[in-house]
Structure 1
Amino acid sequence: MIDVTPQPKPKRGKGLLRVIGLLLAGVMLAGAGFGAGWFYFSRVQSPVTEALRLIDRSEAASAEEPQPGTPQKVARPAPETQAFVTTYYAFAEPLTTNLAGSRRFLQIGISLSTQYDATVMTHVETHKAAIRSDMLAVVSGFSEEQITGREGREALANALKESINQRLVALEGFGGVEGVFFTSFVLQ
């Protein structure tokens, strides 16, 4: 049997209209995105210009009259003192020695400081073997009771400073070490 039912005609314009509509919507979205980007990025300034704009705004705000009763900032003058540069020298290995009259030993890391020029630390580096020997003799002369507490450590640091400066004066004609610091202090 032959089917004689009439076939509907294919719709030709709807597919083409759909493609045109999608292209038109895409163009509109792209245009809107471009416009939004142009609006957002058209006013971008360099970071320096933006920072200067913010500073000008904050200066204008600070130039306004302050409210009565509110605390106000007062500029303090900077001190006009001359500052000296402090140079440090740290001995690489810690000193380890027995204490006088004790079975315990002390291990200390030592750093030196000066505000003279770098020549002092160059002399310390040159004569560090003799200086380490002198420091060991000084430390081993202290007893356990003499180095306990802050005063004991300060006395040890002063004795070390005097010993180092005496050695430098004997070898180079000038000491110059102004501070002795303990970077580690272990009593066992």
Structure 2
Amino acid sequence: MVMANATFDGSTRRGGGFLKALFLFILGCGLAAGGFFAGQYVTRTTMSPADEVLRLIEETGPDGTYAREEEPQRVPRELPDAPLFVTQYYEFPDPLTTNLKGSTRFLQLGIGLATQYDQAVLGNVQTHEMALRSDMLAVLSTFTEEDVEGTEGREALSVALRDAINHRLEQLEGFGGIESVFFPVFVMQ
């Protein structure tokens, strides 16, 4: 005896569940495929990443702003008679930390150097980094809190460090060559 699905009104229904499940499965697959292809269409680019970067570079000027359609005007510039030199920089990889004279506070400094001489000067700095760090710590320990406060104090500290560095390089290599000392990190706590 074959049993039929009975409904509330007493009629019978055969195979409706299978067709409904098949319909929902096909509908779900269609929606998933539509979403996939819509995503592919939206994210599709016709340029390679390298071409895209080149396009962005061409659209922007050297200062990062968008280039104008018109041709830029040249500004005449008078060059000085003295030759121009390239300034080279070197930053010590680790900051110096020391106590200040007569204080419980300490000073942490990042040290950067500048020279307009060739790469040999910076090579000498790297070669003798340990001795230079020792000399800089000795100089720092002679400064008090009040000595390093303000622009004038930092400038005096910069000059003292420059002189100590050049003195050590002259002793070891016969030539200093450091023209400026900078503080990319200056923390007093």
Q: Same fold (TM over 0.5)?
A: yes
Tell me the alpha carbon deviations over residues 134-168 of structure 1, each in whole angstroms, 9 at most, x when there is no partner. 00000111000000000000000000000000000
Secondary structure of 2:146's counterpart equals coil
Tell me the alpha carbon deviations over residues 50-99 of structure 1, each in whole angstroms, 9 at most, x when there is no partner. xxxxxxxx68xxxxxxxxxxxxx9x7531223321111000000000000
Alpha-carbon distance in structure 2 between the residues aligned to 1:184 and 1:131: 18
Superposition map of 1:136-155 within 5 A: 136-155=137-156
Which residue number corresponds to residue 78 of structure 2? 79
Secondary structure of 1:121's counterpart equals helix
Alpha-carbon distance in structure 2 between the residues aligned to 1:170 and 1:100: 27
State the AA in 2 paired with 1:89. Answer: Y
Which residue number corresponds to residue 129 of structure 1? 130
Structure 2 residue 69 is matched with structure 1 residue 89:
no
Which residue number corresponds to residue 105 of structure 1? 106
Structure 2 residue 187 is matched with structure 1 residue 186:
yes
State the AA in 1 paired with 2:176. Answer: G
Tell me the alpha carbon deviations over residues 91-125 of structure 1, each in whole angstroms, 9 at most, x when there is no partner. 00000000000000000000000000111000000
Tell me the alpha carbon deviations over residues 29-54 of structure 1, each in whole angstroms, 9 at most, x when there is no partner. xxxxxxxxxxxxxxxxxxxxxxxxxx
Which residue number corresponds to residue 172 of structure 2? 171
Q: CA RMSD in A?
A: 1.9
Superposition map of 1:24-103 within 5 A: 76-81=75-80, 82-103=83-104
| TM-score between the two structures when normalised by the length of structure 2 | 0.60
State the AA in 1 paired with 2:146. Answer: E
Alpha-carbon distance in structure 2 between the residues aligned to 1:102 and 1:135: 18
Alpha-carbon distance in structure 2 between the residues aligned to 1:80 and 1:146: 40
Greater Rg by CA: 1
| TM-score between the two structures when normalised by the length of structure 1 | 0.60
